[in-house]
Structure formats: C-alpha cells, structure tokens
Structure 1
Amino acid sequence: MKERCKYCEGSGKKIGLDVCPTCNGYGVKTFQLDAKTQVYKGKVKGPGQSCKTCEGTGKIRVTTDCDCDDGWRYLCELCKNNTDSNNLLCRKCFQDPVIYELRYPFDKSVLERRAVLGNVANIQGSTAIISVADIQGRLKLAQVPKGTFVKSGDKIPVSLSSTSSNGRIQNDFVYVRASNYKIQTIRSKNIPLSPSFEKIIKNEVNEGFIIRANAEIISIKQTSGPTLFRLVDEFGNNVVGVGFIEAGQRAFPHIHEGVIVEVAGHYNIHQGQTQIDLREILALSDEMSEQFKIKVGKRLQEKTKAPDIPFSIKSEIFDTLRPQFQAVAERIRQSVFTGQNIIIKYYHPSVDATCASIVLELAILDLLRSKSSLSKTSLRKYPERMNYYEFGDASRDIVSFLEEQSRAGGSTELPLLILIDLGSSEENNLTFDLLSTYDVETVILDNHLIGETMKDKKYFINPLLASNSDEYNISVGMLAFELGRIISSNPESYTKGLQHIPVISGLAEKVSQINSPDSEIGQYLSFVKDSYTLEKLEEMMLAIDYQTFFLRTYTDGGILLAELLGLGVSPTVVDHLVPRLAKEAKFASESAIKPTLVHADTSNLNTAEGGSEIMVTKIDFDLTPRTGYPNPSKTTEIIHEQYVIENQGKIVITLGIGHDYVLIHSSGVKFNLDSIIENIKVKIPSAGVIQGSGHGRIGFVRFFAPFKKDVLEHMLSEFAVLSN
C-alpha cells in the first residue's frame, strides 16, 4: 500500500529553517554599542541595520531531500507503518499477520490505523458497500486482485483510506492484499453479553445504555425511514431494533428473518415503546445458533406447557379426553409464543360452531395480549359454508399461505389451522392429504362420527373418542370453552362472563339431558341461573342464528355477534336487539314452515320382521317457495323437531330433498353416514356421490341430480334395517 508523503506533500523535498549564516542567527549585520543602539537577543532596538539575508529573523528557509520515495511512502498493508517498496507487510506483520475484527463499541482511530475485517453489505455496480460494525463505506471493485471474487455477505480485509464530507460523511476503503492472517476481535469497551432483554423491557437501566445480546430475527420491516427488526431472546422477550443508514434504505442487508444473531446498540424509548438503536448485527455460527435454539426450545417447552387445571364441570368424557385437551392447548400456546400465525375455520350456519369459535378466539387473544407472548402472531377467523373443509377452499388457502410465505422471503412458518365443527369422517381425507403435503398442522374440534383415518390425528378432540353412547351430551362450544380455559393466561378471569356460552351452544346443538342437573349442560346452566333464564339463552341462540344467516360467509360477525352473546359493553343489545332478532327468527320460521309442510310426505317405512316402526318424512324443496331465513337445513330441522314432539317414542327420520342433495335428521336411532355413502358408491356408481358429512343424527349427501330417485330408494333401504 502506498500513499502521498504527508511530510513533503508528495514533492519529495522537505522545506525547513536553518541559522542565518550572515548574522549567525542574531538578525543584525553589525553591532554599535553606544547610547542610542543596543542589540538584544538578535533583535535591533533603536537605530540599527537588520540583516538583509534573513530580514532580521535570524533564520533562513532551506530545502532538503525527503526520506520518502519521490513523494510516496510505502505502508504495511496491516498496521500502516512504514515499510520498503518491495514489501506489502512490515517485518512484524510478516511474521505475525493480524486483521482486526472491530466490534461495537470501538474507537474509530483504530480503524484509521489498522486493517480490519469488513462485511460486504451490498454490490452496487462497480462498487461494494462495506460495513465495519456501524460504519459503512465504499470499495472500488477494480482494486480487488484478479481471481478474487467478492459477493454480498463476504468478509474481506479492508483498510480505511479516506473520509470526506460534502454534506454527509463518506468513507472510502481499499482492499488489503494479505493472506494467512489471524483475526483478532477488539472493542474499546468491554460490554458483557446479556442473557435477555429483560433489563430494558422493565426499564431497569437508563436510556443510552449499551446492550449486547443474542437473539433471533423474527421479522424485518422496511419503512420510509429506518429498518425495523423484531428481536426475540432465548426467554421469549421481544423488542424492536432500529437500524438506519438513509431514509428508506435497508440497514444490515446481509441479515434476514430467522437468523440467530448477536446485536449491540443503545437502549432508548421512542413514542413510549422500548427499542434498541442498532449499531451492530452479527450472524452467529452454526454451532452457536444451534445452542441458542436448544435453549429456546427448552424454555418454550416450559412456557407452552398447559396448566393442569380442573375442568369447570364434572364430566367423565372430559376426564377421559384430558390428554387430548392438554396436547391441543400446548400446540396452540406454542404457536402464540413462537409467533406462528393461527387461522380458525368454523362451520358458519351452526350456532354451536359460531359460539365455539368466539370463546376459543377470546382465549387465544387473552394469551396474545399477555406480557409473555409475541405480538407478531396473527389470529384470523373465517366461516366455512359447508360442514366440512372443502378441498377447493383448502386449495385456495394453501395458495394464499404460500404467497404470504414468499412475500416474507420464505422464512415464515405456515399457519396453524384450527377446524371447528367441520367433520371427523372420511370427507376430509383429500383435504388433509393436501395440508400435510405442505406441512400445515391442524387442530380439530368436532362432535361428528369419527372416520377410521381420523382416530390417529395428533391434535383432535371429539367426545366420541371417549364414549360411543347414543346420548348426545356435548357440543363443540363446550369443548372450546374448556380448551380456552387451559389456553388462557388467566383461566379465572377468562371464565368469568363466558359460562353461558356453552349453554347456548348446547341448546343450538339439541344436546340431551338438558333437564338433568348432573349432565354437562345442566351443570353449565347452574352456573348462570342467577344471570340468565333459559328463555333468555334460547333468545340469544335464535338471535345468533338469524344474524349469521344474513352475514353469510362474508364475515365472521366480529363484535356484532359478541354483542349478541352479551360480551359487549352495551346492555341494550342483549335487552332490546336480542329479543327483536329472536322474534323475527320465530316469525320467519313459522312463515316458511307452513308452505313447506304442504310438500311434506310422511309415511311408515317397511322394516324387517320384529323391527321398530320408523316414520319417514320427505320434504321436496324443489316444490316449496324460496324463502330467506331459514335455509333448507334449518327448515328440515324445525319440521323434524315438530314431528318428534308429535310422535313421542317413535323413530322419526326427516329428509330434506333438494335438486341434488338430501338433508337427514333422525331421532330414536343413529346411522353411519360414511357406511351409507360407501354403499351408494358401490351399488350406484353413476350417482357420483361427491360430498357427504354428518354425525349419528344429522347428515348431508350430495349427488348427481338424475340419480336422485335411485339414491333415495337406497337410503330408505339402509334406514329400514336400523331399527333391528
């Protein structure tokens, strides 16, 4: 390395001062010692004559050869001390070559006198942007020796050659031609590595405190000003790190989401929010990153472990399902603490599913808002129009998930899916195959009949896993309520004000034993008997059913449905709007039932000898006038309930028959819809049964319209043997 000699300013000659040979440094030519003339220290006092050679100064300017090489000095590439023109390094650095890796905080004078390790932050045409801790500058790629390739992210030896300022500071680096060097890390001040961000989060230190800690980059957001890095330490504490070069320019471009790093910077508070003014971000080695992840994993396991709290009611089924509740709760808590997005999908026309989605959402939001969680987690809730997760909807969801992941640079995890009241039988097999292909994990809450392939699901809660009883005692809303208590950061606070919702969901699902104080719904009802009458809870159920019909699948209802459930701040909603909607729902139902009954055909089904009598009602919706609320499914349910009341003790089956579908409601007997569908596929393959779902008392089958008669006849033959 060579530079212009600063002593001769590149001229090769040095100009200095010497004693005047004429006056010998006294400044005067002659000495006259009389009353008027005196000489004092070479200066004339009074009349006298100054030395013309030095003009009375006693010194003259002389020019000598500089000890440089014709105006140039050759410096050691590493320490910048003088060396011979033939050598890149001085003798000391030749014997022990060392490159400094500067760590924040450091004295810039070190950078000015030593070769350092620089990080190639970016390549811009013929220039490389070099980052040394929090200092950035330019390196002309033409200086790099031939055969040496420099790319973004590389660490290369550089030296600061100049610093200019024309409105802003501009640092210029040169490439250091050194090899086989050792790297020595130095700081001007020793800053201990903090185990977490806890000190600054709790404001235990003053602003300006320099913090150094290991963390994971959870997200990076480029604003019109600085770059925002969300940092999470091994304890799960998260803060925002702010990096700034220029407005809108990406700081630390070599750092990406998901990388484990060591950060250093100043703690400050901006607009009430704790943040770190980042001066340095260094990616940790693979070994150190793995150690960090192991520590995070252990602490995450401790945090996500579900509390062992008792259920709010006594239930043998709940007690049997305790392992499933714990596993599902811990999986959801894990998503919250790691910042994984969560999406809730639920069966829209079901009041039971709607109630379940609301109480589960509140539990997750409660945990999200707690101090120990990551605010990065996004919770979204979407209604599904069918009572199973359609393959088409799943396909569109996968596309959306992958596009979001791509926009985030591929570092974000795909969301956790929570499916509520969307079936437990074989109709979801293809959908689950698609989800598993892309490693999308699912949590399932349901109370329908369980298909063989569903029994091995890892995160699956269904009361039929614990009991094969014909009694239908537990709604999905009850499952979600108990699960929410385990997920919530404060179960007691969460439970308060929500205990009536399991009752509403149970009423909507027509669970049995409502009059038994020992049944599940009876116990829930006892909790709220002083706050709500049974009639009021039925009104709320009808209001939710009526309102969701008009919301359709465009929205989950949000605050509106929460208000109808008494979870809002305005009592007028429960006192005035709920009765109004319930009244409208009853009137609309009565108005729809009358013309529908005209096209209802009731007959007794011929059963095998010794079998119980089965009353079958067929409702042809192709002939009934189109109405708004209720839909054909709800209409079939209302008519079925009416026939059950009128025919106590009998087996009652009601079929709502549309253009290419059949809705099934039964009382007094259970049916296996999966078995019926499989038999139809075998015996009437051309019927093209493409959809079907349900549990032991309610079902739905869709087929090709021309085969409606054949499908109905086969279904009736299947029902005929149920009474045996």
Structure 2
Amino acid sequence: MTRSAAGDSGTDPAEGVVYDLAADCTHEDIEEGARYLATVNGVVKYGVFVDISDHVSGLVHESSLIGDYDVGDDLVVDLVEIRENGDLGFEEVDVDIDAVDVEAVVHGDDARVEDLDEHVGDTVHLEGDVVQIKQTAGPTIFAVRDGTGVVPCAAFEEAGVRAYPDIELDDTVRITGDVETREGSVQIETDNLVRLRGAAAEEVRERVDAALEERAEPADVEPLIEWPAFEKLRDDLAAVARQLRVAVLDSRPIRLRHHADGDGMCASVPVQLALDNFIAEVHEDGDAPQHLFKRLPSKAPYYEMEDVTRDLNFALEDEERHGQRLPLLFMVDNGSTEEDTPAYRAMAQYDIPILVVDHHHPDPDAVGPLLEEHVNPYLHDEDYRITTGMMCVELARMIDPTITDQLEHVPAVAGLSDRSKADAMDDYLALADDAGYSEADLRDIGEAMDYAAHWLRYNSGDNLINDVLNLDCDDPERHEELVEFLSTRAQRDVDEQLDDAEPHVEHEPLDNGAHLYRLDVENHARRFTYPAPGKTTGELHDRKVTETGDPVITIGYGPDFAVLRSDGVRLDIPNMVTELQDEIPGAGVSGGGHLVVGSIKFVSGMREPVIDALVEKMENAELDEELRSTLLRDGGE
C-alpha cells in the first residue's frame, strides 16, 4: 500500500509496517514508535548514523545494533525517541526487509504515465516496473512502466556514474520526482527511487500486470474482404499481434526480418507503421520507435547464419551499451523451413522469442518447437495463394486499426507481386480500385518496390519504400512520379536482360505435354545488376507462358544454384529437394519455396546430375489446369 504524507501530521504507527520516507519528508512526517527503512550515512565507535529521508537523520547506539554495517547499507529501525532538541533515537529491528510490508510516505500527487502531460511542473509519485536501465554520460535513465505507458526517469548521482546501483531490471519501484519536458517528450526528474518489497510490491505488480494484459489485447477488426480461407488464420494472427504489443509494453526491441521482395515488403511495412504508432502511443520517449523497432530485409528466403550472427551481435551490444532487453525476432515472408533451424538454434542460446508469419511451404516438425507463434496457410490446409502481405495487412490493423484507410491497396499489390491466384484477388483489386488504384497502378507499384529493393540491398529504405507504397506519404504527386520513374527503369532493364538472354534459352518439350525452358543465368545474363537471377528467370517464364498459352516450366541456373518456375504443372518443389538429397549423395542439395516456385542450391561439381534429376521429376509430374497463370498477371517472387 502507498500513502501520501502531504498534509499529514505524521505516520500513524501500524503493527508490522515499515515506512519508507520520500527524500523530501521532514520531522512533520514521522512518529515515535514507527518503523522506518534507513540507510547508514556514517559509522562511529558508539554506533551508526542513519538517514530515513534527506531531512531526517539520527543515531542507532551500538547497544541497539544487531549487525555490523558500512556506509550505504540498509536496515530497519524503530524511532524510539524524539527529543526536545529535535535529535532522534533509533533502535535496530530484527526483520527481513524483503519479507515485511513497506509503505511509502511521499509528497506530491499519485500519477499514471498516460496522464503525465497534465502534471508538467508538478512533483508526482509513480509506481511500476523498471524495463530498461541506460547509463548516459550524465544521468542514469530508468524506463518505468505502470501498465498505461512507459516513461524515462532521469536520476543523477554524478556525471557518468550509475545512480541507485541496487535497482535492477524488472524491479518494482516507486519514483518520486518532478515532471518535465525534454526535447518535446515528458520525463521525470527523479528525486527518490525505491525498490518496493513484500505486499507493497505484490500489489503494484498485480495492478500493472492487469493493465498490461488489457492493453496488449489486439483490436477486434473485421477483415478488409470476406474470405472463408482467411478466417482459419485469424486467431493465429491475433496471437502474433498480442505478442508484438506485449513486447512494446515490455520495452523489448522487435527485429523484423523479411524477404526482400514485393510480398515481403507489402507484409513488413504495414506492420512497421502499426508498431511505430503503438510504440509512440505507449512510450513517452520520442526516440523510442527508432530504438525499439528495426525492419531488416533478407535476400535469401530463409534466415541465413550471416544474418543471425549480425543480429545477435547488435542485440548483445545494445544490451550492454544501452541497457536494452534482448529482442523479439519476427520473421515475415520467410522462416518456415528446415533451413531456418540453425539460425533459430543460435537465437535459442539467448532465449530470444521468435514469431513467424509466412506462406512458403513449411517444415512444421523442424521449426515448430523453436517458435512461439507460427502462422502459415499450409498449417490450415490452405496454400501460398494467401500471401504474407495479405495476412500482415490484417495483422497490422489488429495492432493499430487507425491505419486501415492507408492499407486498402496493399493486399492487391502483394498478390500481384507474388502471382497469387487466390479467389480473393478480384475482391482485393476492387478494394484497391475504390481507393483510387487501377490494376496497372498496382503493378507499377510492385515493380517499383522490387527495383528499389534490389538497389537498397540490405538497407530497409524506410522513407523511400513508404513513398513508393504510398503509406504515410504527404505528397501524392511525388508518389506517382516516383513510381513511374522506378517502374519504367525496371521494365527497361528487364526487357534488355531478356532480349540479350533469349538467343541462349534452351527449349525442350516434355513427355507430359509441358514446355521446359532453360537459361544459364551465370553466363547469359548480366550479373550484379537488375534483374537478379531469380527475377530474370521469373520474367522469362512469364514471357513464355504468354507466348505459348501452355503449361511451362522454366529453370534459371548458375554454377551452384537453380531457380524454378512452373505454371500448369503439378510440382512439389520442397518434396523434390528432399528426394534429391536422398537420391544424389554428395550433391549438397538444399532449398525449397512454394510448390511451383522455388530455388535450390548444390555443389557446383554436381550441377549436371542435379538438374538432370530435376528435369526427370518435372517430366513425370501431372499437368494441372488450376495452377496455370492468367496470362497477363506477371510479377516476381
């Protein structure tokens, strides 16, 4: 329990209660016979001098001491006498400080984080949990949450010296200080910080936990379109939204890794927008969004060891230098396959939670035990036609429903970028049309994003991508001009690449009636420029589908890799990879993707037998009219 001493004549002694005085409490706030939490400020031959506030001190005579103490030690004392001259006499009380009820005695108003802007200039009292401790060149900054928000509390000992060194992460504390603004953000200039114990700590923790549970609940929003297949995923997405909101409330950094393609960006950027808004709503520190969220593109469709070692190193540096918690990892449009497991096991060494939203064919037995949440349409008897962008737009709206109007065109861009043949595409295209985007506009946006992502490489390019996708963009004319510029250059580069590659494309009719096209992208396509080998293969494939109107398989290969595209042929690329691993020992086969879109790797010396085995499997595959493209729906994985 916490009591305010403002206006009181003193503390009324209560059986078994230990009073903890705020720094500004005076003799008017004390009472003979009461117990107080004291700190030793001096040791002499005949006892120890103790402070029970900045203004109230006294002596514990050696005859009344139970233990041996040094300056800075805490103990519980009984105020046995207030002498006429104002001197105080104390006796030590033999109790366990962590087991007694500690009641705060403070001046100022009780306050909540969400109301601090109404208390600027006032002295307030705030109770909550410490969620970050950052030592600066000046003060120590304690980030404290109370369930309604998180506020930085600056405590100064001396420049660069840790204030309140006994306070640790996750301690339940009481802060007393003045509310001020700094660089446009509210913070508390700390006069006193005390770790709560016993029933007082338990009461605050229960109150904070209840508020956090309520605040973490995602918004109950209706999907943008009616789609029975999507309903199977709604609860899974809500669970991810809840985990992400909890991370924000815990001041746990979120690292979002996504496939650097059109669908991956249509999935990750809306979530970034939603989380930035929620972080700004919860945290009084105006810089919190840039510290607590990072979007990180991945070129590979799985979590590479190069990426995970870099992510872990940055996380450990942030923990040491800035007092941050270790992050939550959120994988988007990748992360579902066995190839991800080595990186996940590296994260497991540090107990870093991992969430995945993906639509690639999963290996649930391999990744499932390593994930907190795994959302994938294949886990509900659906498939890749539900793109990650479609799912993550709904996820973003669960985190922050106010951004709905900004996102209405994004699922259609995601679907076109990833060649989705979902029944829902017509509805998404109609929704985008109502928002002012024609199908041609959406295709150009997807092409512009793909082109920008290629040149950004490992940079997230937040501002540029937001302008291309027209999210949070305050200049519609700039958006249109930017998309036209980027998409036009992208199409020019694609056309030049295909025109140069066409004479080297090998064609072979397969026994099952499909056309097989092969291209050595290492030797007959420009390297280190746009389009990359995967995009080149996809664009060549689309051209051949349009030309023939028949089932088509396209292979773009290099020394140690092959990119596969298929329309109208019932392939299972992840299963084919598994079979090749058993059938061709020593080939180092790995890879996967969707059923009809994917890539594989192998050792360069085994390229010929691996590709020959692939072709044989493709030749034995059945044709499937349902998997054939609508001819003019092009795009790139």
Q: Higher mean Cα deviation, 592-601 or 620-629?
A: 620-629
- Aligned CA distance change for structure 1 residues 667 and 99 (closer, same or farther; 3 Å): closer
**Structure 2 matches for 1:50-129, cutoff 5 A?**
102-107=21-26, 118-119=38-39
Q: Higher mean Cα deviation, 564-573 or 691-700?
A: 564-573
SS in structure 2 opposite 1:370?
A: helix
One-letter amino acid of the structure 1 residue matched with residue 615 of structure 2: L
Contact 2:58 2:90 in 1 (8 A): no
Q: Higher mean Cα deviation, 631-640 or 534-543?
A: 534-543
Q: Higher mean Cα deviation, 211-220 or 353-362?
A: 211-220
One-letter amino acid of the structure 1 residue matched with residue 379 of structure 2: L
One-letter amino acid of the structure 2 residue matched with residue 654 of structure 1: T
1:384 and 2:298 are equivalent in the alignment: yes
* Cα RMSD after superposing both structures: 4.0
Contact 2:26 2:56 in 1 (8 A): no
2:143 corresponds in structure 1 to 230
**TM-score with structure 1 setting the length:** 0.72
- Equivalent in 518, 524, 531 of residue 428 of structure 2: 524
Q: Higher mean Cα deviation, 371-380 or 584-593?
A: 371-380
- Aligned CA distance change for structure 1 residues 187 and 578 (closer, same or farther; 3 Å): closer
Shift of 1:600: 1.4
In structure 2, C-alpha distance between the alignment counterparts of 1:270 and 1:559, rounded to whole Å:
26
SS in structure 2 opposite 1:474?
A: coil
- Aligned CA distance change for structure 1 residues 662 and 207 (closer, same or farther; 3 Å): closer
- Equivalent in 578, 584, 609 of residue 678 of structure 1: 578
1:85 corresponds in structure 2 to none
- Aligned CA distance change for structure 1 residues 403 and 131 (closer, same or farther; 3 Å): farther
**Structure 2 matches for 1:311-460, cutoff 5 A?**
311-348=223-260, 350-370=261-281, 376=288, 378-408=292-322, 412-453=324-365, 454=367, 457-460=371-374
SS in structure 2 opposite 1:404?
A: helix
Shift of 1:242: 3.6
One-letter amino acid of the structure 2 residue matched with residue 510 of structure 1: R
One-letter amino acid of the structure 1 residue matched with residue 412 of structure 2: V
**Structure 2 matches for 1:479-498, cutoff 5 A?**
479-488=391-400, 491=401, 493-498=402-407
Deviations 1:386-420 (A, max 9, x none): 111113322332233233223355xx432111111
- Aligned CA distance change for structure 1 residues 599 and 137 (closer, same or farther; 3 Å): farther
Deviations 1:9-42 (A, max 9, x none): xxxxxxxxxxxxxxxxxxxxxxxxxxxxxxxxxx
Q: Determine what percentage of the aligned residue pairs are the same residue.
A: 26
Contact 1:613 1:723 in 2 (8 A): no
In structure 2, C-alpha distance between the alignment counterparts of 1:121 and 1:702, rounded to whole Å:
69
- Aligned CA distance change for structure 1 residues 597 and 107 (closer, same or farther; 3 Å): same
**TM-score with structure 2 setting the length:** 0.81
Q: Higher mean Cα deviation, 424-433 or 587-596?
A: 424-433
1:549 and 2:454 are equivalent in the alignment: yes
- Equivalent in 264, 289, 297 of residue 209 of structure 2: 297
Contact 2:554 2:564 in 1 (8 A): yes
Deviations 1:196-236 (A, max 9, x none): 45554434xx8444x33422223334445444333222x32
**Runs of 5+ unmatched residues, structure 2:** 1-16, 80-86, 624-637
1:572 and 2:477 are equivalent in the alignment: yes
- Rg larger in 1 or in 2? 1
SS in structure 2 opposite 1:569?
A: coil
- Aligned CA distance change for structure 1 residues 180 and 686 (closer, same or farther; 3 Å): closer
Shift of 1:248: 4.7
Deviations 1:106-149 (A, max 9, x none): 226999x99985436999xxxx998643469999xxxx999936
- Aligned CA distance change for structure 1 residues 614 and 122 (closer, same or farther; 3 Å): farther
In structure 2, C-alpha distance between the alignment counterparts of 1:634 and 1:231, rounded to whole Å:
48
SS in structure 1 opposite 2:480?
A: helix
Q: Higher mean Cα deviation, 702-711 or 591-600?
A: 591-600
1:155 and 2:68 are equivalent in the alignment: no
Shift of 1:702: 0.8
Shift of 1:436: 3.1
Shift of 1:605: 2.7
- Aligned CA distance change for structure 1 residues 534 and 398 (closer, same or farther; 3 Å): same
- Aligned CA distance change for structure 1 residues 328 and 292 (closer, same or farther; 3 Å): same
Number of equivalenced pairs = 584
- Aligned CA distance change for structure 1 residues 387 and 110 (closer, same or farther; 3 Å): closer
**Runs of 5+ unmatched residues, structure 1:** 1-97, 160-172, 514-518, 607-611
**Structure 2 matches for 1:508-523, cutoff 5 A?**
508-512=417-421, 519-523=423-427
- Equivalent in 158, 161, 164 of residue 252 of structure 1: 164
Contact 1:268 1:274 in 2 (8 A): yes
1:723 corresponds in structure 2 to 622
- Aligned CA distance change for structure 1 residues 676 and 416 (closer, same or farther; 3 Å): same
- Aligned CA distance change for structure 1 residues 221 and 430 (closer, same or farther; 3 Å): closer
1:707 and 2:609 are equivalent in the alignment: no
Shift of 1:704: 0.7
Contact 2:76 2:95 in 1 (8 A): no
In structure 2, C-alpha distance between the alignment counterparts of 1:100 and 1:486, rounded to whole Å:
44
In structure 2, C-alpha distance between the alignment counterparts of 1:643 and 1:509, rounded to whole Å:
18
Larger helix proportion of the pair: 2
- Aligned CA distance change for structure 1 residues 178 and 217 (closer, same or farther; 3 Å): closer
- Equivalent in 219, 232, 238 of residue 132 of structure 2: 219
One-letter amino acid of the structure 1 residue matched with residue 575 of structure 2: S
- Aligned CA distance change for structure 1 residues 136 and 677 (closer, same or farther; 3 Å): farther
Contact 2:151 2:285 in 1 (8 A): no
SS in structure 1 opposite 2:211?
A: helix
Deviations 1:450-481 (A, max 9, x none): 22325675422222233346xx5322211111
One-letter amino acid of the structure 2 residue matched with residue 713 of structure 1: D
One-letter amino acid of the structure 1 residue matched with residue 522 of structure 2: D
Deviations 1:260-302 (A, max 9, x none): 1123334455676544443322211155434433332222121
**Structure 2 matches for 1:573-652, cutoff 5 A?**
573-606=478-511, 612-627=512-527, 628-650=529-551, 652=552
1:262 and 2:162 are equivalent in the alignment: no
Contact 2:26 2:53 in 1 (8 A): no
- Equivalent in 556, 563, 568 of residue 467 of structure 2: 563
SS in structure 1 opposite 2:224?
A: coil
In structure 1, C-alpha distance between the alignment counterparts of 2:24 and 2:609, rounded to whole Å:
82
- Aligned CA distance change for structure 1 residues 121 and 254 (closer, same or farther; 3 Å): farther
In structure 1, C-alpha distance between the alignment counterparts of 2:438 and 2:57, rounded to whole Å:
74
One-letter amino acid of the structure 1 residue matched with residue 206 of structure 2: I
Contact 1:317 1:467 in 2 (8 A): no
One-letter amino acid of the structure 2 residue matched with residue 440 of structure 1: I
One-letter amino acid of the structure 1 residue matched with residue 267 of structure 2: A
Contact 2:412 2:442 in 1 (8 A): yes
In structure 2, C-alpha distance between the alignment counterparts of 1:539 and 1:405, rounded to whole Å:
42
Shift of 1:603: 0.7
One-letter amino acid of the structure 1 residue matched with residue 118 of structure 2: K
In structure 1, C-alpha distance between the alignment counterparts of 2:207 and 2:20, rounded to whole Å:
27
One-letter amino acid of the structure 1 residue matched with residue 621 of structure 2: L
SS in structure 1 opposite 2:25?
A: coil
1:466 and 2:383 are equivalent in the alignment: no
SS in structure 1 opposite 2:509?
A: strand
Higher RCO (CA-CA < 8 Å; seq separation 6+): 2
SS in structure 2 opposite 1:656?
A: strand
Shift of 1:99: 11
In structure 1, C-alpha distance between the alignment counterparts of 2:78 and 2:160, rounded to whole Å:
27
Contact 2:114 2:148 in 1 (8 A): no
Contact 1:347 1:383 in 2 (8 A): yes
